Structure 1
Amino acid sequence: MSVLKAIEFSANAHLGYFRKGSKTPYITHPFEVAKILAASVDSETNEALICAGLLHDTVEDTETTLEIIRAEFGDEVAALVASDSEDKTLPWEKRKQNTIDFLGSEATYEMQLLACADKLSNLRSIKADYEKMGDEVWDIFVRGKDKQAWYYKGVMESLKPLSDSPMYQEFNQLVREIFD
């Protein structure tokens, strides 16, 4: 397993994809997630977690399967990626409730770290877009501000075991700034 291999794999998988409502290449999000994780954990002992940060949206948003991730990066990375991937065949509310429930009951510490980094990156993006677009930012999403608030506040509650982490503290602050 190698972070460089995960960078290349993720960049190729996300080639031609863009962030919601923008012309920003999608790969910026997995890179930011990996950067948040690298700043939060010992990158030598948590290489699998950083690789999962780079790969976390490949199964959910590209043609990549979990079997491919497992074959290329091993069981640990595949389990982490699976933990942060939603079943897009389910309705939005059900998917989001499943995430909240999973993070609060079954997720390992590493799975919670991955989810926190992912959601923190998303909130940073929402805040930047809000500063440019105002309330029109909510038109980008499947569900508007009220549903997004419900979701992010639920995730924040589920991730409370990470409350000593600077990553969680920034996530918590952004949830309050954006939704309160």
Structure 2
Amino acid sequence: MAKQKSLQTSECPVARAVESIGERWCFMILREAFDDVRRFSEFRKNLGLAKNILATRLKHLIEIGVLEISPASDGSAYKEYILTDMGRSVFPVVVAMRQWGERYLYKQGEMHSVLLDNVNGEPLLTLEVRASNGRVLGPADCYRNSVITAKKAEHDC
């Protein structure tokens, strides 16, 4: 079986992101971390994941800078996995996936969890991609398949 080419050097940011955090258990660990799960045993209990797989995924997320290990907040001898700034910045991606799943993967009336705003208890608005002037953008409204410098990318889709 041929080994797949790594996407870590791709010119496409989507490819690099998928290579870094796109594996399903990485996303499920991130989902749990956003729900304030911090300990190995809690991740394992909530995800039902084998120790070796969980340890490998947590190590990977630490190596790429999404999580860091910290002494337990309760002063015990345990260690905790804490989201870094890089890790917290994945939140809109997880919300977008959640909203897509809510919209397309459940039958009408089928039970599922809902993400609510802690302040007012209301469901979140659907995320949208917007231009700098606030206009909602779709795929046809953005440049595709072009390699541009970071400076130019600040002003383009």
Q: Same fold (TM over 0.5)?
A: no
* Band the TM-score falls in, shorter-chain normalisation: 0.3 to 0.5
Specify the structure having the higher radius of gyration (Cα).
2
Q: Which structure has more strand as a fraction of its residues?
A: 2
TM superposition score normalised by structure 2: 0.35
Relative to the length of structure 1, the TM-score reads 0.32
